[in-house]
Amino acid sequence: MNRKDFVRTSGLATAGLMLGTVTNVFAKDDRPKVRIGLIGVGARGIGHLDLLMRRDDVDLVAICEVEPRALENAKNYIAKNNKKMPLIFSESNDAWKKMYEINGGLDAVVIATPWELHTPMILGALKAGIKYVGTEVVLGITLQDHWDVVRAAEKYNAHVMMLENVCYRRDVMAVLNMVRQGLFGELIHLQGGYQHDLREVKFNDGIHTYGHGVEFGEKGYSEAHWRTNHSVTRNGDLYPTHGIGPIAHYININRGNRFTSLCSFSSKSRGLHNHIVKLGGPNHPNASVKFKLGDVVTTSINCANGETILLQHDTDLPRPYTLGFRVQGTEGLWMDVANSIYIQDKSNNNDQWDVARQWLDKYDHPLWARWSKETAGAGHGGMDFFVIHALVESIKNKVATPMDVYDAAAWSAITPLSEQSIANGNKTVEFPDFTDGKWAERKPVFALTDAF
């Protein structure tokens, strides 16, 4: 399934696609509405706009977008749904700075822009006094970016939540429920990754969001405009968080456990070049581009409590989508690619896989049991609802977000660390402790109830 199909089947409405009519899902209570500003209404941000607009407890007071087509798409969507038009900031690449100074202030900002803009936009928000930031994956580019965000969140006593939606995938959460109830025993080894054919995301014709050409950079549109360049200049696990986020919750990373070291390997690079030649011919100017990113990047991580993790980044070759989860303990395991679960002495037959569905339904997480109606129409099979829900409810309840800046930093820092490991001949590198030792005392908080 390519990204376009994935996006369609998962119900995510993206730029250029028609969004449905908004049905508001939250009755207003006595608390003031949460004032939110949104930066970036491209393929991802338009989905966040939709989710924010559905809520009666949110006032989307401003949006910032510099690309006329994406902005027009967002405005049309708002008008079509008879919603109040937010203030628009679009005059320059720095317009977001003005948005942060808006009259009446912002309770939160949601950032859905290219990766390289996340760190400056987060730091700017914290300095401007905004107490909650919801940022799309990833947190930053360099290791220093991650430290800067952690230190700024501490200094300004603010909450930075990475909007890592896969943590809320229904099967992922059912497995979290099973882990917490001890079904798999003591966890030993975990796998995951980002295994998604992105060739039609990384290249397009500058008009369509997906495919129809082999342009990128200045001539590309949406992610082809900025993401593909990372594949030209960098080699590492460029997108670790969809895999590592759920895994980190399973083994309480930063909350009694932590990543201690990492080692990455990269294969040769063929997929992107072959795609260009196949669609654009050997004489297309992009056929001479050298891509630094290996087609399959494999990373091993050690944990303080003795678990091992294997992560894979695999976005440039033909392949059906799967995040490749494996959660294995002393009593059994789940593997998402085979949709299978085996629990010693409890599975239907000894040494044979059960179809995972029967277990996942039985252990459906209370969050999904409570909110599944509200997830209807939200992107990626409904899981996108939960990241916005968690951010908004944390603000309303004046509490920390269930995924915090230490989680964001530890998950996202895998990218620069894996680049470092590969550049140094697969050297094992130490994992920084962004919590400064607090990991040992911190307690799990993610999805403990059905609230958010």
Ligand X SMILES: NC(=O)c1ccc[n+]([C@@H]2O[C@H](COP(=O)([O-])OP(=O)(O)OC[C@H]3O[C@@H](n4cnc5c(N)ncnc54)[C@H](O)[C@@H]3O)[C@@H](O)[C@H]2O)c1
Q: Between 15 and 106, name the residue whose CB sits nearer to ligand X.
A: 15
Q: How far is the CB of 101 from ligand X (least distance, A)?
A: 15
- 65 contributes a contact to ligand X by CB under 6 A: yes
Range 4-23, binding ligand X (CB under 6 A): 15
- Measured from the CB atom, is 230 or 258 closer to ligand X? 230
Q: Quick one: 135 or 257, whose CB is closer to ligand X?
A: 135
Q: Which residues of 383-421 are buried (b: 16+ CB within 10 A; e: fewer)?
A: bbbbbbbbbbbbbbeeeebbbbbbbbbbbbbbbbbbbeb
Q: Is 39 in the site for ligand X (CB under 6 A)?
A: yes
| Residue closer to ligand X (CB basis): 42 or 193 | 42
The residue (of 48 and 255) whose beta carbon lies closer to ligand X is 48
Kindly state whether residue 363 participates in binding ligand X, applying the rule CB under 6 A: no
Nearer to ligand X, 183 or 387 (CB): 387
- Give least dist CB 293 to ligand X, A: 15
Of the candidate residues 66, 232, 287, 451, the single one contacting ligand X (CB under 6 A): 66
Per CB under 6 A, does 416 bind ligand X? no
Contact window for ligand X (CB under 6 A) among 63-71, 176-184, 259-267, 416-424: 63-71
Residue closer to ligand X, measured from CB, 137 or 175: 137
Handedness of CA 184, 375, 73, 207 (dihedral sign): positive
Tell which positions 92-151 bind ligand X, by CB under 6 A. Answer: 93, 96, 112-115, 117, 136-137
Does the protein bind ligand X through residue 165 (CB under 6 A)?
Answer: yes
Q: Which stretch binds ligand X (CB under 6 A): 61-69, 190-198, 261-269, 304-312?
A: 61-69
* Least Å from the CB of residue 66 to ligand X: 5
Least separation, in Å, of the C-beta of 216 and ligand X? 12
Residue 384 C-beta: closest distance to ligand X, Å: 7
Q: x/- contact string, 212-251, with ligand X (CB under 6 A)?
A: ----------xx-x--------------------------
Count of residues interacting with ligand X (CB under 6 A)? 26
Q: Which residues 282-341 are close enough to bind ligand X by CB under 6 A?
A: none
Nearest distance from residue 166's CB to ligand X, in Å?
A: 7
Applying CB under 6 A, which residues contact ligand X? 15, 39-40, 42-45, 64-67, 70, 93, 96, 112-115, 117, 136-137, 165, 222-223, 225, 380
